[in-house]
Amino acid sequence: MTIKTQVAIIGAGPSGLLLGQLLHRCGIDNVILERHTPDYVLGRIRAGVLEYGFVDLMREAGVAERMDREGLVHDGFTLAFQGRREHVDMKGLTGKSVLVYGQTEVTRDLMDARKASGAPIYYEAEDVQLYDFLDGKPRVTFTHQGQQKTLECAYIAGCDGFHGVSRKSVPKDRIKEFERVYPFGWLGLMSDTPPVEDELIYVHNPRGFALCSMRSHTRSRYYIQCSLAEHVDEWSDDRFWTELSARLPEDVAAKLVTGPSIEKSIAPLRSFVAEPMKFGNLFLVGDAAHIVPPTGAKGLNLASSDVYTLYHALRGACLDGRPELLDRYSEIALRRVWKAERFSWWMSMLLHTFDDDAFSQRIQKAEQDYYTSTRAGLTTIAENYVGLPYEPVV
């Protein structure tokens, strides 16, 4: 069976669904392929801090009603270190804020919009293979419900994550990869307990990093730095809460409300970039092209800026007769990618505990002191956290 469309989108995570929604609303046909079930996709626990650029893109896609109603606007956050607490007033320093709204809810809203639109999406698409994208006549083959199908298209958007088929389909001599793996992970716990404070708290402690986050007024998300040699089964809820309390400032720990975990997992930290992000008529988007450590809250937000850039380039190519805009996708996207990689790396180095020499420890302390003691330093943190502007595709 042969299906024809303008854009084949590989992956039905937030980036694939958002790109599909934006293209559908402007009349560009697209088909989404996802190898997992909808429940599996929704079950992936991910970030919950949205930059203003992502929020605006959700509104442009027509899927922001619940996000605007239930999301929590945050005007700042706290850095705690050396027995001090320093507030980063994002709103006062940049005029912008972030929105706390879980990635699971973003995905649910986009799934509902896709279903309501009637635009085609194939879940449990097996044996997905990409062909001829370097020759200008891309096609995708896959098996769905036992039937082999061929998807003929003009363009392929690889939104299928770090382990997906899209990047793996690129010849190795055409792609260059940059990577840094960190010597620790994050142990995260989610609980139906009220957040310890109204804003996020990032903590540097000799015992290790900690983060107090949230998904709503009644659901909290906490993280602590841990060894990659540890297994989540070694961490009972009681052990987690005890260790978290030991790392938090005393006044914060005194207010901590504990409870049973509803999710608990360990995630490794990695910085990764693949260059370029365009290969003929194949475009890599989000985690298919880059990974950031979660310290800067940039993963989903960086995927969103890729979607923005590719969406506007595809609009130009498909609707305005300007295919040359697609040639700028990788260049534009990578400029923002590397700035977000830098910030995420910097926040990780600033706040985690390393087995470093005394010189490196003093440098870390000096960084903490300098960036929180001057308006210029705090502004640098704030403008990166709320998100750098999206670059126009012209």
Which residues are annotated as catalytic?
74, 202, 294, 298, 385
Edge-to-edge strand order for the sheet containing 72-74?
Answer: 49-50, 98-100, 72-74
In whole angstroms, what is the distance from residue 157 CA to residue 278 CA?
9
Sign of the Cα torsion 43, 12, 344, 90 reads negative
Q: Are 191 and 220 in contact (CB under 8 A)?
A: yes
Phi, psi of 164 (to 5 degrees): -75, 175
CA distances from residue 297 to 69, 232, 242, 341 in whole angstroms, order as listed? 22, 22, 25, 11
Q: Which two tokens stand for residue 359?
A: 């010189």
Residue (of 323, 17, 45, 287) closest to 166 by Cα position: 287
115 burial via Cβ count (<10 Å: 0-12, 13-18, 19+)? exposed
Phi, psi of 259 (to 5 degrees): 180, 175
Q: Are 341 and 390 in contact (CB under 8 A)?
A: no
In whole angstroms, what is the distance from residue 155 CA to residue 309 CA?
15
Q: Within 10 Å of residue 227's Cβ, how many Cβ atoms? A: 12
Alpha-helical runs (H) found in 175-297: 237-247, 250-253
Longest dimension (CA), the chain: 65
Q: Within 10 Å of residue 261's Cβ, how many Cβ atoms? A: 19
